[in-house]
Amino acid sequence: MASVPAVLNSEWTKIRTVSSTTWTLICAFAVTVAMGAALCALLNATFDDLSEAEQVTFDPTLVSFSGTVLGQLAMVVFGVLVVGTEYSSGMIRTSLAAVPQRGTLLFSKITVAGALALAVGLLTSFVSFFLGQALLGDRGTTLGEENVLRAVVGAGLYMGLIAIFSMGVAAMLRSSMLSLGILMPFFFLVSQILIAVPYAKDVARYFPDQAGSKIMQVVPGALNSDAGPYGPWAGLGIMVAWVAASVLGGYLVLKNRDA
């Protein structure tokens, strides 16, 4: 029987020695920070062109996280690769031979990769915030303002949870290509389109990305958007429920199906 510390160390070794997982985290950081900075600079320069309603509901904190729309896709890739690569390479059989306790193997993998994703997510959110506020100038805000620190920490948690959700989905589907083929269009297209469609948005606002992103808002209905039926913490709670369901699903598939 493999000990949990040994399995955790093994999973850490797998992640840090595979260049693709390292580069996806670097891309998540770089894309999120760069896009957020660009949007902050653009809005600062064109603020007077915004409608009166958009100016009144301007949320400098949320704007600095604009890059999360693309950065989360890199987190999806990271989460999928951490789990799916073992299936595509056939290494899952070797891993299960070394660690017969399937729950220990999966949860150790998710613990190590999830902690790394959360750490990168928090680093990304704080860098995005400080750089974004510097570019917004007088229209920026500070961590000391009400609910700003909550939003900054929440943005980091959001990115980490996206990665963990993707790990659960990959464990259920047992394929990197299939997982990416579903998750990438879902987060980048389907969710973004449905949230703008009347009636469909009543369902789409409960999707994990739409619910979880509420934690990044300081101003309700930021930039004249739909305020939604729940607050920031409730939205994060909905996302956590999605994540828990995906991880549980991944565990049940791994437990009940042959490798």
pLDDT digits (tens, 9 = 90+) for 104-128: 889 999 999 999 999 999 999 999 9
- Asked whether the beta carbons of 180 and 82 are under 8 A apart, the reply is no
Contacts of 232 (CB under 8 A, 6+ apart): 147, 150, 151, 154, 214, 215, 216, 217
**Backbone phi and psi for residue 3, each to the nearest 5 degrees, phi listed first:** -80, 150
Q: What is the pLDDT of residue 224?
A: 64
54: exposed, middle or buried (Cβ count in 10 Å: 0-12, 13-18, 19+): middle
Residue appearing with tokens 């958009």: 54
pTM of the entire predicted model: 0.93
Give me 175's structure tokens.
Answer: 């394929």
On the question of pLDDT at 179 being above 80, the answer is yes
80: exposed, middle or buried (Cβ count in 10 Å: 0-12, 13-18, 19+): buried
55: exposed, middle or buried (Cβ count in 10 Å: 0-12, 13-18, 19+): middle
> Cα 203 to the chain's mean position, in Å?
20
Give me 8's structure tokens.
Answer: 């955790």
Q: What is the pLDDT of residue 222?
A: 77
Helix, strand and coil in the chain, % to nearest 5? 80, 0, 20
Could you report the per-residue pLDDT of 27-80, keeping only the tens digit for each? 999 999 999 999 999 999 998 888 888 888 899 999 999 999 999 999 999 999
Q: What integer best gives the mean pLDDT of the chain?
A: 91
Q: Would you place residue 196 in the very low, low, confident or very high pLDDT band (cuts 50, 70, 90)?
A: confident
Could you report the per-residue pLDDT of 13-26, keeping only the tens digit for each? 888 888 888 999 99
Considering its fold, how many domains does the chain have in total?
A: 1
Nearest 5°: the CA angle 198, 203, 204 is 80
- Sign (positive or negative) of CA dihedral 239, 119, 74, 109: negative
Q: What is the pLDDT of residue 223?
A: 67
Residue appearing with tokens 């709670």: 237
Give me 89's structure tokens.
Answer: 């390479």
Give whichever of 95-99, 101-105, 128-132 has the largest mean pLDDT: 128-132
- Asked whether the beta carbons of 207 and 191 are under 8 A apart, the reply is yes
Q: What is the pLDDT of residue 237?
A: 97
Cβ of 241: how many Cβ atoms within 10 Å? 13
Could you report the per-residue pLDDT of 201-211, keeping only the tens digit for each? 889 999 999 99
Whole domain around residue 216: which residue ranges?
4-256
213/191 Cα distance (integer angstroms): 12
Q: Would you place residue 98 in the very low, low, confident or very high pLDDT band (cuts 50, 70, 90)?
A: confident
175/247 Cα distance (integer angstroms): 15
On the question of pLDDT at 226 being above 80, the answer is no
